[in-house]
Copies of this chain bind each other. A is one copy, B any other.
Amino acid sequence: MAQRIIFTNEVQDAVSALIHEMNPSRVFVVADENTARVVVPQMNVEHDKLIVVSAGDENKNLESAQIIWDALQTNGATRHSLVINVGGGMVTDLGGFAAATFKRGLQFVNVPTTLLGAVDASGGGKTGINYHSLKNEIGVFAPAHAVVISSRFFATLPHREFLSGYAEMIKHALLDSEAHLHELLTYPVQDMDAEKMLEMLRKSVHIKEQIVMQDPEEKGLRKALNLGHTVGHAFESLALRRNNPVPHGYAVACGLVTELVLSHMLMKFPSGILQQTATFVLENYGAFPITCKDYDTLLSLMAHDKKSLSGEINCTLLADCGNYKTDVSISPEDMKAALDIYCDLLHL
């Protein structure tokens, strides 16, 4: 389910050209209360109706889908109408689901406004809503007609949110090449240049696209994208148990450091690159705080990760940038040793 991805900072031109090309009977824009206020006016695209939903993942639910369905119905949407989703992953997941299920499928275009949403754009048409607090429990696979990626809205985001997406870009670079990683680790993230950022995004999305295309059914290769996430998810869950949640990307950044340590231990990943990555993470994200008293909890969380079927701990590891191995089984001893070194590297 490939989606057409358009990289541009001329969002108005790109979306207008898409509308011209698709010639829909009506144009609906779906946004949350923030993007409706800040981004939609900047986009300045002609539309018949703006549909606004409440912001936040807790509103990615059936009630919000109904708000969209109701607005489509009362404003005369036909099978040939177009829905343009403007927002973060919450809006594109929800708006995509509502569009894909209205009259058995309206076409939709996504305009991600967050870095994480942009980096995830090649995910292959996943739409969905949460249901009874289970994430993405109701949804369908439905590719957007197009995804318009720009970097111009990121400046309106909190830096924290920007960095959260940047961790996924670092992951993609690690799966690509040392030069790509070097580019990211030396980029002035505090003082982003929108055009340069767009170029980097293009490269980053391309890496993910290549991996997804080689494994459309999520059988094996795509697990490469799990790099940093076995440990990262455990950090994220531990933070939740402490009632002190961390952004996903922050947990992933620290997870990447730990899994690079394992890569060094078990697959001779170069220590210099490990060191540079750890330094970048420490300076920009800070260390996710753990002590050796947390190890058993963390190991148990890793063994029960939803992507682990066997109860074993599995990681994607690297012999070098771009040279990865999926499903490497990690012994508890090795994981504890890696966590020790993580603590040292990040000065815990």
Contacts and interface: CB of A to CB of B under 8 A. Distances in A.
A103 interface: yes
A139 B73 contact: no
Interface string A121-152: 00000111001101011111110000000000
Classify the secondary structure of A's interface with B. Answer: mixed
A7 interface: no
Contacts of A137: 69, 73, 102-103
A138 B66 CA distance: 10
Contacts of A70: 132
Contacts of A284: none
Contacts of A297: none
A270 interface: no
Nearest to A77: B137
Contacts of A177: none
Given A69-B131, A131-B69, A132-B73, A140 B140 contact: yes
A313 interface: no
Nearest to A125: B104
Number of copies: 2
A101 interface: yes
A140 B73 contact: no
A232 to B, nearest CB: 22
A104 B141 contact: yes
Nearest to A101: B138
Contacts of A66: 62
A105 interface: yes
A140 B98 CA distance: 11
A321 interface: no
Contact of A134 (B73, B105, B127, B128): B73
A103 B131 CA distance: 10
Contacts of A101: 101, 138-140
B128 A104 contact: yes
24 contacts: A62-B62, A62-B66, A69-B131, A69-B137, A69-B138, A73-B131, A73-B132, A73-B134, A73-B137, A100-B140, A101-B138, A101-B140, A102-B137, A103-B136, A103-B137, A103-B139, A104-B126, A104-B127, A104-B128, A104-B136, A104-B141, A105-B141, A140-B140, A140-B142
